[in-house]
Amino acid sequence: MLEQYDTPLEILYLILSIGGGLLLLFLIIAVFHLISILSNVKKVTSKAKDTVDLLNHYLWQPIKIMLMILDKAKGVAEKTAKSSKKKSK
C-alpha cells in the first residue's frame, strides 16, 4: 500500500488527510454531545422555571396580600387612634 507513495510530500499529504478525517470525526462527536448537553440544560431550566412560578403563585402572592392587608389595617388603626385622642381631649 505504501509503494505508491514515493516522495515524502505524498506521505505528508496522506498523514494530513488521515489526521483531518480523524479531527472531523472528533468534532462531529463533540457537537453531538454538546447538543445533548444543551437539551438537558433546556429541560432543567424549564423545570426550574415551573418551580419558581409555583413558589411565586403559592408562597409570594399570599404574603403580598397579607402585607397589603396589614398596611390597610395600620392606616385604619392610626386613624382610629387619632380620632380617639381627639375625643378624649
Q: Please tell me the pTM assigned to this model.
A: 0.54
Q: What range defines the domain where residue 40 resides? A: 2-88
pLDDT band at 84 (very low <50, low <70, confident <90, very high): confident
User: Which tens digits make up the pLDDT trace of 10-33?
Assistant: 889 999 999 999 999 999 999 999
Compute CA distances 85 → 76, 77, 81, 89, whole Å: 14, 12, 6, 6
At 32, list the grid cell.
453531538
CA distance 14 to 2: 10
Number of domains in the chain: 1
At 76, list the grid cell.
385604619
